[in-house]
Amino acid sequence: MRSKFILLLIIGSISVFLLAFTFLRPTPIYLEIPKGWPKPNYDFSKNSLTEEGFQLGRQLFYDPILSKDSTISCASCHLQATGFTHVDHSLSHGIDGKIGTRNSMTMMNLAWSKTFMWDGGVNHLDVQALNPITSSVEMNETLANVVLKLQKSEQYKSLFIAAFGDNSITGQRILKALSQFELMLVSSNSKYDKVMRKEALFTNQEQNGYQLFKTNCASCHSEPLFTNGEYENNGIPIDTTLNDIGRQRITEKSEDYLKFKIPTLRNIQFTNPYMHDGRFNKLTEVIKHYNSIGNNKKVSKQLKKSMNLTDNERVDLVAFLLTLTDNEFLFDKRFVYPR
Amino acid sequence: MRSKLPHVLFFTLFFQWIYSQEKKENSSLQFKIKYENESLIQNKKYISLSKDTLQLETFRFYVSNIKFILNDNSVISEDNSYHLIDFEDSNTQIISIQKKSNLEIKKVVFSLGIDSTASVSGALSGDLDPTKGMYWAWQSGYINFKIEGKSSSCKTRNNGFQFHIGGYLKPNYAIRTIELETNNSNFEINVDLAKLFNEIKLSEINSIMIPGSKAMDIADIAKLLFSISESLSNEK
């Protein structure tokens, strides 16, 4: 009788343990690859997405604890409503009001990116965040110190347990959690996407703009990501107050002088100012620039010929670019400040 | 009566196995960081053959892909072989490796630095965790070795010199393979920093923090820092 009771007790506690373990295990989530899109570049086998990992990353993304004096978070320069970039500032500003040398990039569809930053100096999404964290004009912090600060927080301890199974807080886990949040930032529900899926129709003007886009812009801003991920010299003269030589700083090759990342055009309606140094505030200025590049020997080969669009054609092209706005993405509740 | 033979057999085999495990001892790779023949002392003043007076504050380096070649040419290697060795932390200066053999080691092979595969694999853990301060932010990749200090020869801020040597992209792939032969398994590896400072003039070269041809030159010199010292006795 007694031994039966003990046996039951053992079986009972084992099943409670197993049940608890099932509930404690992070819930897997998957990145949905939009129909017709290429295979993502990110290796998910090294960082399996989970709801808990994503939520931890989201918490970190919005937490100024990443900066030396707890004033700057990732979201300080990457606001959701503007395609996760910084508006109203040509150059982004960070800690103590210090100003950087570049316009912060947008953040979307990052799982498909092979390289990161305007100069492509970063080779993997996981290690991108080291740049803003350690930059003296952005967060001016070290990753080692972020680890120490997070280890003191009971809230983060439980978030790390939920995401990774134990409360060990390491640099690797911080970076992988941030990646999990960033990987989920997929923008694929603009009007353009709906037209491609045959769920909507372009107006005549948008359709005309789309044709002009395909002829004049798509070799670099290729569909469906609206970037081919490469680096080009788009003919804007160097700003002599910044002397930013672009990709050449990374590769040390003279042919990379003034080459910068080709940014995506998705959500371009709200991602102003434009270019690596934010020199153009309006979309019409950008198009004007490409319309009259003229004789610039250094410019990339795709831009050697000016577009020479008429005034009406330029209006049509802008109308098409506005169809790349994805309000579902810009206002997606899963990406907002966590409460 | 059941026979006790199976039990006896089992225990005999078990103890034999335990005994054989003990005999196949672990081998350790011990790094002795020196300036000439003496152990390196932080901030002690040394004078190089180039007549630079110098003090060292930081010396950290990655050792990776360690292999022991045994007398029968078999190779002992370890998985995920990446170790950060810090001159300020003696615990990092001994690497224990399961030898699983009683044969003598005749050659030690390892790399100074991190290979390109690990350099493009995102955020890694352990000694490769970016919190170790050996990962570049603005240009991805590991710093293979870091040497920092002061010298009156350096006309720099606080007379400082700093060498952050790395780079995983050709033609500036700064990893170096080091092969050292030994007559017995009882050895240590000397790392003599004097050999670097005897080769350079700190007034001319005192700050390298990016991959490139200058980093490649220092990496070539750094290969020469390593030598084997065999101890004749069993004491280490």
Question: Up-side HSE of residue A281: CA atoms within 13 Å toward CB?
Answer: 4
Q: Does some domain include residue B18?
A: no
- Cβ-Cβ contacts under 8 Å, B139 against chain A: 121-122, 250
Question: Tens digit of pLDDT for each residue in B20-71?
Answer: 555 556 788 999 999 999 999 999 999 999 999 999 999 999 999 999 999 9
Interface of A with B (CB under 8 A): 43, 46-47, 117, 121-127, 130-131, 133-135, 142-144, 147, 170-172, 175-176, 179, 250, 252
Question: Tens digit of pLDDT for each residue in A13-61?
Answer: 776 666 655 557 899 999 999 999 999 999 999 999 999 999 999 999 9
User: Structure pTM?
Assistant: 0.89
Q: Does some domain include residue B84?
A: yes
- Domain that residue B95 falls in: 27-229
Q: Does some domain include residue B22?
A: no
Q: Does some domain include residue B10?
A: no
Contact of B28 with B92, CB cutoff 8 Å: no
Count the domains in chain B. Answer: 1
Q: Which of A123, A144, A175 sits opposite B120 (nearest CB)?
A: A123
Q: Do A143 and B131 touch (CB under 8 A)?
A: yes
Measured CA distances, B230 to B37, B105, B182, B235 (Å) = 15, 12, 7, 11
Closest residue of chain A to B133, computed from CA coordinates: A144
Locate all alpha helices (DSSP H) within chain B, ordered by sequence.
Answer: 5-23, 116-119, 194-197, 213-222
Q: Does some domain include residue B2?
A: no
pLDDT band at A127 (very low <50, low <70, confident <90, very high): very high
Model ipTM?
0.86
B125 touches chain A (CB under 8 A): yes
Q: Which helix (H) or strand (E) holds A181?
A: helix A171-183
pLDDT band at B235 (very low <50, low <70, confident <90, very high): very low
pLDDT band at B82 (very low <50, low <70, confident <90, very high): very high
Q: What does the pLDDT average to over B175-194?
A: 94
Question: Tens digit of pLDDT for each residue in A59-110?
Answer: 999 999 999 999 999 999 999 999 999 887 888 889 888 899 999 999 999 9
**pLDDT over 50 at B236, yes or no:** no
Question: Tens digit of pLDDT for each residue in A187-238?
Answer: 999 999 999 999 999 999 999 999 999 999 999 999 999 999 999 999 999 9
**pLDDT over 50 at A172, yes or no:** yes
Q: Does some domain include residue B6?
A: no
Q: What does the pLDDT average to over A243-270?
A: 95
Q: How far is A249 from chain B (nearest CA, A)?
A: 9
B121 touches chain A (CB under 8 A): yes
Rounded Cα distance between A337 and A327, Å, is 17
Q: Does some domain include residue B85?
A: yes
Question: Tens digit of pLDDT for each residue in A288-332?
Answer: 999 988 777 788 888 888 888 999 999 999 999 999 999 999 999
Q: Does some domain include residue B171?
A: yes
> pLDDT value at position A93?
86
Interface test with B, best of A41, A43, A142, A143 (most B CBs within 10 A): A143
**pLDDT over 60 at B1, yes or no:** no
